[in-house]
């Protein structure tokens, strides 16, 4: 039995089918990339897995347990954390307080939550930001804080939604190092949605490609980057025809 | 143990805050020793009561961002429980007050469960509605004196009586509510650092993010709503003994609900000092304006106009109130 199993997942929004019959599995300690053009249904799929959306049909099994019908907070309590793509922290929480919210999922006392949060901030090398408001920070640092917050809940599986979007090449290097660190040092299985190809191709063990809500390809980065179906999805029908790809 | 330590620990505030807070505390404690008018005294008691109402409101409304405009119903439940129990069965304040809190909290769970399925303005409107419905019920309910209300007669319950909280001089009421006030501050100081407090601030920020961090958003809101309710109900019980004559119109009206929310919002929703600052500005302003302009110049309703102006100013310029302005200046200095 795989660590995460998605069986025939379908999600409809009224008449719009956002995810159509998607199936895949993720093994423990894998780092899987989820790619696809805009509107392919990647974030919807994350929302379905993490329980924010109720799925129309299908089944989700995480760590041997059927989590299909669970609510978002119950899914999180079972060790499945995520970050959000557009998360502008407008609130009045500082960096360490943000991370503490994550830590409070397990910790009952404030002192324990704070100690754990500090440890994570150190581990992610952002402890010097701990007293800033999240909204005061540049985007790259904000993304790190959202990752640190998710890690605070001590997840077994972490879903990262476009943590490199809007960053410059230098910052992307930094984020990539952070992701590797989370994966290798902390031993957390990761699925990441990413548009930044140099990141996702370099870092992922395996890629899953979505287009128009369906899984069109799956395989190691090498194979995927040469797959005609994927190129067509990204670059369009005409490009593929002109280059005799299909 | 750690809870008590956290409640007493104010070390994350800048020293200026603590010095001001200490000075205000001392001023409050010694205030009755100095010569003062009975009007000033009653204004002081009002200030402490509304600070406490505001502190309660601030848990769900400030830290949690759920604008609750129906707190008057719990003032009513608290006040009526104490008055009815005293008049009908001679149960003293110190017993009826906790019973009132239980009844209020029970009621808050019953209506909180469906209410928190709503969000934003819809939630605010629904809280107003529940409060008004309860007021209407009390207005026709003979058992609690209907629209005439209840009166605690000083002949039947001669002062001074600490157990029943019946005194002739206001100074005793002042010290009782002052003790409540300090306990309230300690409680909120603990609350804002507690697990629930953090969960609530996360909910205010973004509910989906909160959910994905394992927070049961609906339940966290209901629990906090009950805490806010307990505060309000306690002070409501005190109110019954203090004014000794209660009726639905002045304990459960929409005015009271709005005032409670306004205290916290003006001072700074979601901060420890906010409700106290708000009450410290609004209550004296209200009573003196009413006295000068209302009674002497015949401008009735000037306080209502004032509320409206304040609401508009807060929402237009600084949603986080007076305290928001203070923090903004501090951040600017620091950066």
Which H or E run contains A70? none
Does A91 reach chain B within 8 Å, measured CB to CB?
Answer: yes
Q: Could you tell me which chain A residue has the CA closest to the CA of B191?
A: A110
Give me the pLDDT at residue B226, please: 96
Contact check, Cβ <8 Å, B211/A105: no
Q: Which of A60-64, B114-118, B161-165, B230-234 has the lowest mean pLDDT?
A: B161-165
Q: Which residues in A lie closer than 8 A to residue B193 (C-beta atoms)?
A: 110
Q: What is the pLDDT of residues A39-48, one digit of tens each?
A: 888 999 999 9
Q: What is the C-alpha separation between A54 and A185, in angstroms, rounded? A: 33
Q: What is the C-alpha separation between A61 and B238, in angstroms, rounded? A: 55
Give me the pLDDT at residue B173, please: 92
Q: Which residues in B lie closer than 8 A to residue A153 (C-beta atoms)?
A: 213-214
Radius of gyration of chain A (CA): 18
Terminal CA-to-CA distance of chain A, rounded, Å? 35
Give me the pLDDT at residue A222, please: 85
Q: What is the pLDDT of residues B29-79, one digit of tens each?
A: 999 888 888 888 999 999 999 999 999 999 999 899 898 999 999 999 999
* Residue B229 CB contacts under 8 Å (≥ 6 apart), including other chains: B56, B71, B74, B101, B104, B105, B107, B108
Q: Tokens 């507690």 — which residue?
A: B194
> If pLDDT is split at 50, 70 and 90, which confidence band does A57 have?
very high
Give me the pLDDT at residue B228, please: 95
The whole-chain average pLDDT of chain A stands at 88
A241 token code pair: 């025809």
Its pTM stands at 0.89
- Among B211, B56, B106, CA closest to A51: B211
Examine the pLDDT at B309 and tell me if it is beyond 80: yes
Q: Which residues in A lie closer than 8 A to residue B201 (C-beta atoms)?
A: 91-93, 97, 101
Structural domain boundaries enclosing A233? 4-242
Q: What is the pLDDT of residues A195-227, one digit of tens each?
A: 888 888 889 999 999 988 888 888 888 888 888
Secondary structure (DSSP) of A91-115: SS-BHHHHHHHHHTTT--SHHHHHH
The whole-chain average pLDDT of chain B stands at 88
Among B206, B211, B320, select the one facing A72 at the smallest CB separation.
Answer: B211
Q: Which residues in B lie closer than 8 A to residue A149 (C-beta atoms)?
A: 213
Contact check, Cβ <8 Å, A101/B193: no
Q: Which residues in B lie closer than 8 A to residue A109 (C-beta atoms)?
A: 2, 195
User: Is residue A3 classed as helix, strand or coil in its secondary structure?
Assistant: coil
Q: Which residues in B lie closer than 8 A to residue A97 (C-beta atoms)?
A: 198, 201
CATH number at residue A104: 3.40.50.300
Examine the pLDDT at B81 and tell me if it is beyond 90: yes
Give me the pLDDT at residue B297, please: 64
> What is the number of domains present in chain A?
1
A208 token code pair: 């899953």
Examine the pLDDT at A234 and tell me if it is beyond 90: no
Contact check, Cβ <8 Å, A102/B193: no
Most confident of A10-19, A160-169, A215-224, B233-242: B233-242
Contact A218/A23 with Cβ under 8 angstroms?
no
Rounded alpha-carbon distances, angstroms, from residue B113 to B127, B204, B214: 12, 18, 19
Does B218 reach chain A within 8 Å, measured CB to CB?
Answer: no
Q: Could you tell me which chain A residue has the CA closest to the CA of B205?
A: A91
- Residue B108 phi/psi, 5-degree rounding, is -65, -35
Among A73, A110, A150, select the one facing B194 at the smallest CB separation.
Answer: A110
In Å, how far is A245's CA from the nearest CA of chain B?
41
Please, which residues bridge with residue A210 across strands? Answer: A215
């Amino acid at each position: 039995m795989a660590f995460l199993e998605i069986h025939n997942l379908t999600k409809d929004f009224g008449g719009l089918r956002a995810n159509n019959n998607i199936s895949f599995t993720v093994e423990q300690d894998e780092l899987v990339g989820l790619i696809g053009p805009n509107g392919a249904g990647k974030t919807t799929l994350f929302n379905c897995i993490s329980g924010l959306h109720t799925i129309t049909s299908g089944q989700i099994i995480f760590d041997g347990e059927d989590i299909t019908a669970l609510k978002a907070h119950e899914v999180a309590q079972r060790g499945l954390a995520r970050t959000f793509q557009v998360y502008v922290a407008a609130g009045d929480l500082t960096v360490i307080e943000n991370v503490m919210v994550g830590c409070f999922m397990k910790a009952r006392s404030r002192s324990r939550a704070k100690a754990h949060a500090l440890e994570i901030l150190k581990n992610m090398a952002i402890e010097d930001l701990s007293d800033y408001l999240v909204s005061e920070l540049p985007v790259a640092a904000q993304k790190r804080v959202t990752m640190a917050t998710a890690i605070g809940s001590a997840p077994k599986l972490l879903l990262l939604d476009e943590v490199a979007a809007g960053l410059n090449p230098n910052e992307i290097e930094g984020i990539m190092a952070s992701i590797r660190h989370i994966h290798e040092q902390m031993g957390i299985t990761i699925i990441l949605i990413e548009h930044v190809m140099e990141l996702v191709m370099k870092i992922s063990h395996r890629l899953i490609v979505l287009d128009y809500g369906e899984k069109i390809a799956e395989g190691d980065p090498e194979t995927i980057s040469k797959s005609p179906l994927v190129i067509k999805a990204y670059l369009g029908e005409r490009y593929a025809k002109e280059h005799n790809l299909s | 143990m750690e809870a008590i330590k956290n409640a007493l620990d104010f070390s994350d505030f800048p020293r200026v805050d603590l010095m001001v807070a200490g000075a205000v505390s001392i001023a409050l404690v010694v205030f009755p020793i100095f010569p003062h008018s009975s009007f000033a005294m009653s204004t002081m008691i009002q200030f402490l009561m509304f600070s406490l109402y505001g502190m309660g409101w601030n848990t769900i409304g400030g830290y949690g961002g759920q604008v609750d405009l129906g707190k008057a119903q719990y003032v009513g439940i608290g006040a009526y429980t104490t008055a009815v129990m005293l008049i009908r069965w001679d149960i003293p304040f110190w017993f009826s007050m906790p019973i009132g809190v239980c009844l209020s909290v029970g009621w808050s769970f019953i209506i909180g469960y469906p209410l928190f399925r709503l969000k934003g303005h819809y939630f605010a409107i629904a809280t107003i509605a529940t409060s008004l419905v309860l007021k209407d019920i009390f207005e026709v309910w003979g058992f609690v004196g209907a629209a005439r209300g209840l009166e605690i007669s000083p002949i039947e319950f001669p002062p001074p009586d600490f157990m029943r909280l019946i005194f002739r001089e206001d100074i005793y009421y002042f010290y009782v509510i002052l003790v409540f006030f300090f306990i309230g501050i300690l409680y909120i100081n603990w609350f804002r650092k507690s697990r629930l407090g953090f969960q609530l601030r996360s909910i205010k920020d973004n509910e989906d993010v909160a959910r994905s961090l394992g927070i049961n958003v609906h339940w966290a809101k209901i629990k906090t709503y009950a805490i806010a309710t307990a505060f309000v109900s306690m002070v409501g019980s005190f109110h019954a003994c203090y004014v000794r004559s209660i009726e639905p119109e002045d304990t459960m009206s929409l005015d009271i609900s709005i005032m409670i929310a306004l205290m916290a919002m003006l001072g700074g929703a979601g901060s420890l000092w906010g409700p106290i600052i708000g009450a410290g500005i609004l209550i004296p302003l209200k009573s003196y304006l009413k006295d000068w302009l209302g009674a002497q110049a015949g401008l009735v309703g000037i306080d209502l106009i004032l509320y409206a102006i304040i609401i508009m100013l807060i929402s237009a310029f600084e949603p986080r109130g007076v305290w928001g302005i203070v923090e903004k200046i501090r951040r600017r200095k620091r950066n």
